[in-house]
Amino acid sequence: MSVEEQAPSRAEVRAAVGPQSSEAVFLVLRRMRVPLIVLLTLFAISVLGLTLIPGTNPDGTPWRMGFFDAFYFMSYTATTIGYGELPQAFNDAQRMWVTLSIYLSVIGWAYAIGALLSLVQSRPFRQAIAVTRFQRSVRNLREPFWLMAGHGHTGDMLGTWLDDLGKRFVVVDVRDDAVDALDLGTYTADVPAIVADASTPDVLVQAGLLHPSCVGVLALTDDDEANLAVVMAASVLRPGLQVIARTSSASIKARMEAFGEPIVIDPFDRFGDHFAVSLRAPATEQLADWLTRAPEAPLPQPHDDIRPGPWILYGYGRFGREVTRDLRREGVEVRIIDAGTGLVDEPEGADGAIVGDATRREILDQADISSAVGFIAGTDNDVTNLSLVRAARRANPSLFIVARQNRPENAELFDAMGIDLLLVPTTVVAQEALAHIGAPMLWQFLQMASHQGQQWSADLIDRLVERCGTGSPELWEVALTTADAPAVVRVLDRHPIALGDLLRDPLDRTSTVEVVCLMVDSFDGTVLAPPDDLVLRAGDRLLLAGRPAGRHSMESTLLVDSSAAYCLSDEPAATGWLWRRLTREDARR
């Protein structure tokens, strides 16, 4: 985005934020009017009375207290300091008045302090304070940050990963408890959060939509309409900003895609794709799953026993339709059972669906469960899904069981049931969003990898495990440009280099750093899992996976001339600026 486009947006931020930021002050002033006036009046009456009541000098002559003495006396009396210094001893008339004044002032103070305390505890005031604090912390963000609308289970999971990767984010959620949970959470970085409806553009602006450091918006609420509103607001107010949205409705997805180029994640659609890939090449799916997991996650088990025989699916709703379509595209036979609720569009039974309750044996037999290889429990009710799994297992113990877990709270139940393949929509969305956020090239890699065969993926997994261990690797991109890799570019000016040389350890060039190159993107095209002898050229972009230590070692090759020269050409390097100048002069001659 150009500077010209950004300048007005910043002014707009200030305009939108300005009037509300002093809300709390105005609220205090307005609410304290009456208590302050009461206090003022009582004080004024007390002082006036003291000056009017005749006193007596020690020698018996009449004496009147001046305004200054009266003010002084009332000041230390009314504030309960009770200094006790009197200009003249009081007579009884003055004492009567002072007694009255003391009680009046105590009442006045009690009222004022009570009003202030109840104001501080009142909801609007606390909200005003929270809004002010939120706006200030968003305004003061200097690092790139993501705007997360909706911090449910998906947001929580994604937030933890983003935090691990050192990325900042701002949270907007309608639910109090979601924001309260953030305070108790274990994020390393401070996460500004506010309880507000993210579908209101004003709220998004307050949360930093127009902030120059805002790099993207994540629409992750449970409500498809709200997500659509977020996508809309983001694309209209800040065109070109990266938007990642979640929805499980095809029509909402189409409407989202009408606004700019958002990345729309439909968990059912994605799961169907993953499922289809698993059927074709389990290792490919295993690789994709592993690379999109949280940093240091263990290597997931491959679903080697998944087979393309006849499958039985229960629950022909949005999820069931997606999976059926994907499976049938792979040439797999799918027998559908539905209680009838998922068939609202076609009540007579769509696609040859059997209508009935699949927990009953005769319905399962009707679908010929004994000949099936797998069973999918795909309703939107976890209890139903679990009882379906139990019924299907009883009918055919050798079935491969796929179940949809709707509520993350039920994870233990599903774990205990030993489900072979579990769909947790929140996890699917979080993994997918992370793949988009972490390294933009990763997404391209995963797309291309999904068409690769079983052997290719298994080999790549072996190579990754051999070099980087079984914890999921860190993923990052390197462009061979003067900005990213100045030392390498200087070597490239002289002679071409091979990928294997770039991955040499700068401390010992015979060994390799704990890094694997997943993809090279060059002018000539894209190479997946490139071999070590691939020749690199300036401008190539690399997607790398590896341990943080490996990344660190490699960075020194990229940036430091002596390391680059040692790794890439095994020649003594001209390290200093002066020496580099001299050797270059030599070369020119």
Partner 1 sequence: MNLEKVVFGFFVMLAATLNFGFFIGDIDDPTVHNRYELYAAVVVNLIATVLKFGDRTQIGAVHLATSLVADLQLIAAAVVLVWATNVSPEGVTPSAMASVVSLSGGALLANLVSVVLLVIETVSYRRR
Query: Cα 307 from chain centroid?
Result: 36
Judged by CB under 8 A, does residue 40 bind partner 1?
Answer: yes
DSSP assignment of 321-337, as one string?
HHHHHHHHHTT--EEEE
DSSP assignment of 27-95, as one string?
HHHHHTHHHHHHHHHHHHHHHHHHHHS-EE-TTS-EE---HHHHHHHHHHHHTT------SS---HHHH
CA neighbor of 502 nearest in space, from 465, 538, 463, 455: 538
Report whether 312 contacts 335 (CB < 8 A). yes
Rounded distance between C-alpha atoms, residue 553 and residue 513, angstroms: 7
Nearby residues of 195 by Cβ (< 8 Å), 6 or more positions away: 127, 130, 173, 174, 175, 176, 179
Which residues inside 52-71 make contact with partner 1, applying CB under 8 A?
66-69
In the bound complex, what is the minimum distance in angstroms from residue 114's beta carbon to partner 1? 17
DSSP assignment of 328-369, as one string?
HHTT--EEEEE-SGGGSSSTT-GGGPEES-TTSHHHHHHTTG
User: According to CB under 8 A, which one of 10, 14, 33, 64 is a site residue for partner 1?
Assistant: 33
Comparing CB distances to partner 1, the nearer of 86 and 339 is 86
In the bound complex, what is the minimum distance in angstroms from residue 82's beta carbon to partner 1? 22
Report whether 553 contacts 487 (CB < 8 A). no
Comparing CB distances to partner 1, the nearer of 51 and 137 is 51
User: According to CB under 8 A, which one of 8, 10, 15, 26 is a site residue for partner 1?
Assistant: 26
Q: Two tokens at 375?
A: 């069973």
Judged by CB under 8 A, does residue 535 bind partner 1?
Answer: no
390-429 mask for partner 1 (x: CB under 8 A)?
----------------------------------------
Stretch that binds partner 1, among 22-30, 192-200, 310-318, 491-499 (CB under 8 A): 22-30
Stretch that binds partner 1, among 33-41, 290-298, 313-321, 490-498 (CB under 8 A): 33-41
Stretch that binds partner 1, among 43-51, 340-348, 428-436, 536-544 (CB under 8 A): 43-51
Judged by CB under 8 A, does residue 113 bind partner 1?
Answer: no
In the bound complex, what is the minimum distance in angstroms from residue 53's beta carbon to partner 1? 14
Comparing CB distances to partner 1, the nearer of 64 and 95 is 64
Comparing CB distances to partner 1, the nearer of 105 and 472 is 105
Stretch that binds partner 1, among 19-27, 451-459, 463-471, 524-532 (CB under 8 A): 19-27
Rounded distance between C-alpha atoms, residue 266 and residue 440, angstroms: 19
Host H or E run for residue 173: strand 168-173
Q: DSSP character for 266? A: -
In the bound complex, what is the minimum distance in angstroms from residue 64's beta carbon to partner 1? 11
Instruction: Compute how many residues bind partner 1; rule: CB under 8 A.
Output: 21
In the bound complex, what is the minimum distance in angstroms from residue 422's beta carbon to partner 1? 54
Q: Two tokens at 394?
A: 């009883």
Give the HSE-up count for residue 228: Cα atoms under 13 Å, Cβ half-sphere.
15
CA neighbor of 147 nearest in space, from 68, 206, 71, 88: 206
Judged by CB under 8 A, does residue 32 bind partner 1?
Answer: yes
Q: Work out the angle at residue 543's Cα, subtended by the Cα atoms of residues 539 and 547, and round it to the nearest 5 degrees.
A: 130
Measure CA of the first residue to CA of the last residue in the chain; give whole Å.
Answer: 45
Comparing CB distances to partner 1, the nearer of 11 and 25 is 25
Other CB atoms closer than 10 Å to residue 516's CB: what's the count? 22
Comparing CB distances to partner 1, the nearer of 32 and 350 is 32
In the bound complex, what is the minimum distance in angstroms from residue 19's beta carbon to partner 1? 7
In the bound complex, what is the minimum distance in angstroms from residue 27's beta carbon to partner 1? 7
In the bound complex, what is the minimum distance in angstroms from residue 198's beta carbon to partner 1? 26
User: According to CB under 8 A, which one of 36, 237, 413, 422 is a site residue for partner 1?
Assistant: 36
Stretch that binds partner 1, among 30-38, 76-84, 172-180, 392-400 (CB under 8 A): 30-38
- Residue in this structure with the two tokens 């507000």, named with its chain if needed: 196
β 354-355/311-314 pair status? unpaired
Comparing CB distances to partner 1, the nearer of 66 and 440 is 66
Comparing CB distances to partner 1, the nearer of 51 and 381 is 51
User: According to CB under 8 A, which one of 10, 30, 451, 552 is a site residue for partner 1?
Assistant: 30
Judged by CB under 8 A, does residue 76 bind partner 1?
Answer: no
Judged by CB under 8 A, does residue 167 bind partner 1?
Answer: no
User: According to CB under 8 A, which one of 19, 60, 82, 525 is a site residue for partner 1?
Assistant: 19
Other CB atoms closer than 10 Å to residue 432's CB: what's the count? 23
Backbone angles phi, psi at 300, to 5 degrees: -70, 160
In the bound complex, what is the minimum distance in angstroms from residue 140's beta carbon to partner 1? 25
User: According to CB under 8 A, which one of 5, 6, 41, 552 is a site residue for partner 1?
Assistant: 41
Stretch that binds partner 1, among 44-52, 113-121, 298-306, 314-322 (CB under 8 A): 44-52
Other CB atoms closer than 10 Å to residue 348's CB: what's the count? 7
Other CB atoms closer than 10 Å to residue 351's CB: what's the count? 16
Q: Work out the angle at residue 80's Cα, subtended by the Cα atoms of residues 76 and 85, and round it to the nearest 5 degrees.
A: 40
In the bound complex, what is the minimum distance in angstroms from residue 165's beta carbon to partner 1? 43
Rounded distance between C-alpha atoms, residue 483 and residue 124, angstroms: 50
Comparing CB distances to partner 1, the nearer of 100 and 383 is 100
Report whether 518 contacts 529 (CB < 8 A). yes
Which residues inside 329-348 make contact with partner 1, applying CB under 8 A?
none
Judged by CB under 8 A, does residue 115 bind partner 1?
Answer: no
Rounded distance between C-alpha atoms, residue 177 and residue 186, angstroms: 15
Comparing CB distances to partner 1, the nearer of 35 and 378 is 35
| Three-state DSSP class for residue 201 | helix
- Residue in this structure with the two tokens 């300005």, named with its chain if needed: 18
Stretch that binds partner 1, among 24-32, 90-98, 167-175, 531-539 (CB under 8 A): 24-32
In the bound complex, what is the minimum distance in angstroms from residue 63's beta carbon to partner 1? 14
Residues that bind partner 1 in the complex, under the rule CB under 8 A: 19, 26-33, 36-37, 40-41, 44, 47-48, 51, 66-69
